[in-house]
Amino acid sequence: MWELIAANRKKSILLFSAMFFILLTLGFFIGYYFLPGEYWYYGILFAILIWAILIGLTLMRGEAIILRLAEAKPASRERFPVLHNVTKEMQIAANLPYCPDVFVIEENAPNAFATGRNPDTACIVVTTGLLAVLTRDELQGVIAHEMSHILNRDVLFMTHASVMLGSIVILSNLYLRGMIYSGGGRSKRRSINRGASTLFILSIMFSLLSPVVANILYFSISKKREYLADASAVRLTRYPFGLMRALQKISNSDYEYKTPNRTLSSFYIADPCAHSRALFDFQTHPPIDKRIEILQALTHDVQYLTYQKIYSKLCGKPGKNTNIIPSSAFRENGNISVIQPSKEQLQENPIPNPQFLMYTYDTKEKTASAGILHHILGIEPETINSAKQTSLPPKTHPDDKAKAIKDENGNPVYYRQTNGWESFACVCGSAKHLSPSYKKNNLFCTACGSDIKIVNYDINRDFSTAMNGQEKNMKKQKIEKMHKKA
């Protein structure tokens, strides 16, 4: 562990010096063009001052600011006992001195991030949507990933790097705006001087490019750290399948992050802005498919060396350095083999904790008589875009018992077993998904073209039609069991 931190520190120092150089150069240009001749160095001081103010604010109130930006609230033990327990378990596995505080965001899109300057003040934040779709083993994987960020001091790095990035963006904006409003600043007066005009063009180029370069520097390292955190996470849980399934569920989720904060997007386990990211925007995260693929290949042991080998095989290009894990971490021996899934993990259940999903209502604005605007409850969003929402739980294959059967006339029919989200297989075998608000009596299968009759859920339903004795009993028992559980 300690070797990892040391190796990370060296890289971080290199990155920060590069970014700091960019910052100082920007300051120099500002001073050179907007301040009278002999006071040019005040520009550099100004740049350092902006950075110092930002870093001071972050160091004093960093966590609070980030938590507020993300609209995170402390998670109560009563409502989220599993979350608290899993965090404590991972703290023990990671050998951290203190257990990080846990926070939740009321948000249906599954996601998570960690923040805090050092392991003592670290916080782990998850969305309620994440808790809804993940089983205990999968949640362990995600929390272990966040715990690894804390353990590898990634959180500290990210905080400092984003402050640096922020100040560079502010300064380059200031410079360019100043140029536009002052019509070229001092350079006009110096237009005779050839050298100054070359410098002027250079400075414009520099201030345009510096945020881009800083971004590239920042994200090139932050991407590697995601892989590293994955590798450390599976070392803690010894169960790569859990994190893999969690990443699958996160990337397949159809809920979009309602109010993603772009400045925070690189903190999350998966990019919350992925849905709305433009073509030339920077990717803050490595492709999630690649991460899943690597985890899938970890079938026997979870040593760092194995992870590195698989990474080089899957993502490496010949002749390119593909080291994501410092080689000092490979000096480990002992038994670190993969463990078996828990009992809960073996039960296929698309939404293990539906109580954490929010059924939000849209509000509409309506003008009242005196011209006062007031908000009224609108329609449930699920019924508006039910086509989209029905695909949750997405891509989870329904279990053998839930499938459409043929009635006495040979027409396919499906009996709903709950009022909630449901997946079932059509007679042709393709997976179908029903949302709680799906109230229609039929569903058209695009794969085989048959019209499946949907019989709504009713606890006292008559099973005499379309089912033989055995199936009837099985369904009845299942429903009774579910009813008791509820």
Q: Which amino acid makes up residue 101?
A: D
Q: Which stretch binds other proteins (CB under 8 A): 82-90, 273-281, 286-294, 406-414?
A: 82-90
Among 339, 405, 445, 467, binds other proteins (CB under 8 A): 339
CA 18, CA 69: separation in Å to the nearest integer? 28
How deeply is 467 buried, as exposed, middle or buried, from its count of CB atoms within 10 A (0-12, 13-18, 19+)?
Answer: middle
Q: Which amino acid makes up residue 344?
A: E
Q: Which of 89, 146, 226, 422 is catalytic?
A: 146
Backbone dihedral region for residue 71 (phi beyond 0: left; psi -120 to 50: alpha; all else: beta): left
Contact status: 277 vs other proteins (CB under 8 A)? no
Asked if residue 168 lies in contact with residue 218, where contact means CB atoms within 8 angstroms, the answer is no
CA 18, CA 265: separation in Å to the nearest integer? 23
The minimum distance between CB 249 and other proteins, in angstroms, equals 15
First-last CA distance in the chain: 44
Q: For other proteins, give the closer residue by CB, 27 or 242.
A: 242
80 HSE (CA, 13 A, CB side): 25
The minimum distance between CB 4 and other proteins, in angstroms, equals 14
Contact status: 238 vs other proteins (CB under 8 A)? yes
The H or E element spanning position 236 is: helix 194-237
Q: For other proteins, give the closer residue by CB, 139 or 392.
A: 139
- In the shown chain, the binding pattern of residues 296 to 325 toward other proteins, with x for contact by CB under 8 A and - for none, equals x--xx-------------------------
The minimum distance between CB 139 and other proteins, in angstroms, equals 12
CA 294, CA 322: separation in Å to the nearest integer? 14
Q: For other proteins, give the closer residue by CB, 95 or 369.
A: 95
Picking from 178, 129, 104, the residue whose alpha carbon sits closest to that of residue 355 is 129
The minimum distance between CB 359 and other proteins, in angstroms, equals 23
Contact status: 89 vs other proteins (CB under 8 A)? yes
The minimum distance between CB 350 and other proteins, in angstroms, equals 19
Indicate if 146 belongs to the active site: yes
**Unique residue bearing structure tokens 């180029």:** 205
Contact set for other proteins, span 132-191 (CB under 8 A): 136
Contact status: 85 vs other proteins (CB under 8 A)? yes
Q: Which stretch binds other proteins (CB under 8 A): 201-209, 268-276, 440-448, 478-486?
A: 478-486
Q: Which stretch binds other proteins (CB under 8 A): 48-56, 87-95, 306-314, 382-390?
A: 87-95
Contact status: 218 vs other proteins (CB under 8 A)? no
Contact status: 95 vs other proteins (CB under 8 A)? yes
**Unique residue bearing structure tokens 């699920």:** 382
Preceding peptide of 393 cis, ω within 30°: yes
For 162, residues 6+ apart whose C-beta sits below 8 A from its C-beta are: 218, 263, 266
Q: Which stretch binds other proteins (CB under 8 A): 335-343, 373-381, 398-406, 412-420?
A: 335-343
- Longest Cα pair distance anywhere in the chain, in angstroms? 98
CA 130, CA 141: separation in Å to the nearest integer? 12
Catalytic residue set: 146
Name the residues that contact other proteins, by CB under 8 A.
81-82, 85-86, 88-90, 92-93, 95, 136, 236, 238, 241, 296, 299-300, 333-334, 337-342, 481, 484-485
